[in-house]
Amino acid sequence: MTPDYVFPADKYLLLGKVAKAQGLQGELKLYLYSGQPKNVGEYKELLLVNKAGVISSPLAVLKSRIQGKAVIVRLASINDRTQAEKVEDHGVLLARIHLPAINRDEYYWYQYQDKLVVDLEGNTLGRVERLFTTGAQDVLVIKAGKEEILIPVTKSILVGETAEKLIVNPPPGLIELNTNSGT
Q: Is residue 82 part of a domain?
A: yes
Q: What is the pLDDT of residue 35?
A: 67
Report how far apart, in Å, the C-alpha atoms of 74 and of each of 5, 50, 56, 57, 69 are. 22, 18, 15, 15, 17
Q: What is the pLDDT of residue 1?
A: 45
* Residue after which a domain boundary falls, among 48, 70, 98: 98
Strands 116-119 and 165-168: parallel
DSSP state of 169: -
Give pLDDT < 50 ranges for the chain. 1-2, 182-183
* Residue after which a domain boundary falls, among 79, 98, 117: 98
Same-domain check for residues 113 and 177: yes
DSSP-assigned states of every residue in 19-80: EEEETTTTEEEEEETTS-GGGGGG-SEEEEE-TT-PBPPPEEEEEEEEETTEEEEEETT--S
Same-domain check for residues 94 and 20: yes
Listed residue (117, 108, 109) closest to 150, CA to CA: 117
Expressed as residue numbers, the domain containing 172 is 109-182
Q: Is residue 55 part of a domain?
A: yes
Q: What is the pLDDT of residue 107?
A: 85
Residue 49: half-sphere exposure toward Cβ, Cα within 13 Å = 22
Which tens digit of pLDDT belongs to each residue from 12-36? 999 999 999 999 999 999 998 876 7
* Residue after which a domain boundary falls, among 48, 73, 98: 98
Same-domain check for residues 117 and 170: yes
Specify the number of domains making up the chain.
2
Same-domain check for residues 94 and 133: no
Same-domain check for residues 26 and 86: yes
